[in-house]
Amino acid sequence: MNDPNRSRVLTLTLDGLEVPFSEGETLLDVAKRVGVTIPTLCHDPRLEPAGVCRTCLVEVEGWRRLAPSCATQATAGMRVTTDSARVERHRKGLLGLYATDHPGDRAAAERRGPDELLAMIDRYGARDEALGALSSLRAGRPKDANPYIDFDPEACILCERCVRYCDEVEAVSAITLAGRGARTTISTADGIGLLDSSCELCGGCVDTCPTGAMAEKLPLTRGLRAERELAKVRTTCNFCGVGCQLDLNVDPGGRDGRGQVVKVTSPAPGTTTNDGNLCVKGRFAYDFLHHADRLTAPLVRGADGQLYPTTWDDALSRAAQGLLGVKERHGADALGFVSSSRCTVEENYLVQKLARAVFGTNNVHQCAAT
């Protein structure tokens, strides 16, 4: 007998296989979950589907037109094909058209960052002989003076990911579509520089851009290596206690073979707690890593009053001796503990525990600004 309380399992057919789905999932969500790859350009899982690039079209039985899988809700009983001859023909034709809207210099494109469009053109065997045929119509725009973000209008395919990211994730709305027809481009309102706009220089538009049209300026101006030659090292940002994960992009041959961090990127959306997002400090303030003045070992003062590098064990034991000496001579309330807002909540908890339980003073504070 049917149990009326048991929720109905919704299914559809994807490339001949019956697959379950949950209400609210799009066809693209379902395909991703079961490991079927559908190419996308304007899609970013953090953004509302826009359905503007038409790269993700699939065939749905009984539908006259191909459907954008990123913007089509799954419904029970649908029969979906992601790789029919008709879909293939559409993809190749569309990617060939996008090729005309993208610069022809592949080496230059590689230096700007990951280029999903070029990778897709290669993967689907689309015609690329017309690369750059139309993109030059948008050339010659004055460069923005901000120190971090470079925009190449010739590489932009107007997918609006950057605009929607700025609006929906950052809630800043610093950039928008501007101009008309073939000269349509991405700009700030009234074409003012990013530094004069509401832009927070988070760099999220750089990370979401699928063509390298938005790119990080420093690696470009320093003439550093192509994206594929960089190694990625996952680490935790140390600018505040949030603990965003970030990837240091390392040029292994930089600094005479000692390795050089040439840019910072965010891990892919959905993989770490910061969900692909960073702030201006985490993303762009990395030059201190190789600064000559950076301390790489603890320092202790010698009998001559000068500071000398030492081991962490020695530094900690010298600090403990000093603190205990003050307590012995003047009492616990002669001590004060100031922690840092760069520390995590757990580390700050431990500092107050050290002050109260170990040394016996309530003189403990945490600076709330970095």
Q: Which residues bind ligand SF4 (CB under 6 A)?
A: 149, 156-162, 165-166, 170, 172, 174-175, 186, 194, 199-205, 208-209, 211, 213-214
Lookup result for tokens 């001859």: 85
Check residue 36 and report its DSSP letter: -
Q: Nearer to ligand FES by C-beta: 83 or 200?
A: 83
Check residue 354 and report its DSSP letter: I
CA atoms of 76 and 291, how far apart (whole Å): 59
Kindly give the pairing relationship between strand 231-236 and strand 245-251.
antiparallel
From ligand SF4, ligand FES, none, which one binds at residue 54 (CB under 5 to 8 Å depending on kind)? ligand FES
From ligand FES, ligand SF4, none, which one binds at residue 68 (CB under 5 to 8 Å depending on kind)? ligand FES
Tokens of 289: 């890593």
Q: Nearer to ligand FES by C-beta: 96 or 282?
A: 96
Q: How far is the CB of 283 from ligand SF4 (least distance, A)?
A: 9
Q: How far is the CB of 64 from ligand FES (least distance, A)?
A: 18
From ligand FES, ligand SF4, none, which one binds at residue 209 (CB under 5 to 8 Å depending on kind)? ligand SF4
Q: Nearer to ligand FES by C-beta: 54 or 127?
A: 54
Q: Nearer to ligand SF4 by C-beta: 14 or 174?
A: 174
Q: Nearer to ligand FES by C-beta: 55 or 260?
A: 55
From ligand SF4, ligand FES, none, which one binds at residue 265 (CB under 5 to 8 Å depending on kind)? none
From ligand FES, ligand SF4, none, which one binds at residue 53 (CB under 5 to 8 Å depending on kind)? ligand FES
Q: How far is the CB of 58 from ligand FES (least distance, A)?
A: 10
Q: What share of the chain is helix, strand, coil (3-state, %, to 5)?
A: 35, 20, 50
In angstroms, what CA-CA distances link 176 with 131, 135, 161, 197, 357? 25, 19, 10, 12, 55
Q: Nearer to ligand SF4 by C-beta: 15 or 275?
A: 275
Q: How far is the CB of 126 from ligand FES (least distance, A)?
A: 16
Q: How far is the CB of 39 from ligand FES (least distance, A)?
A: 8
Calculate helix-pair angle for 116-123, 85-100, nearest 10 degrees: 140
Phi-psi label, residue 113: left if phi above 0, alpha if psi -120 to 50, beta otherwise? left
Q: Which of 160, 158, 110 is closest to 137 using CA atoms?
A: 158
Q: Nearer to ligand FES by C-beta: 116 or 200?
A: 116
Looking at the chain, list the stretches that DSSP marks H as alpha helix, in order from N- to C-terminal side: 27-33, 85-100, 106-112, 116-123, 161-168, 204-208, 217-221, 254-257, 280-284, 312-330, 345-353
From ligand FES, ligand SF4, none, which one binds at residue 201 (CB under 5 to 8 Å depending on kind)? ligand SF4
Task: Assign 247 to helix, strand or coil.
Answer: strand
Contact set with ligand FES (CB under 6 A): 40-43, 51-56, 68, 70
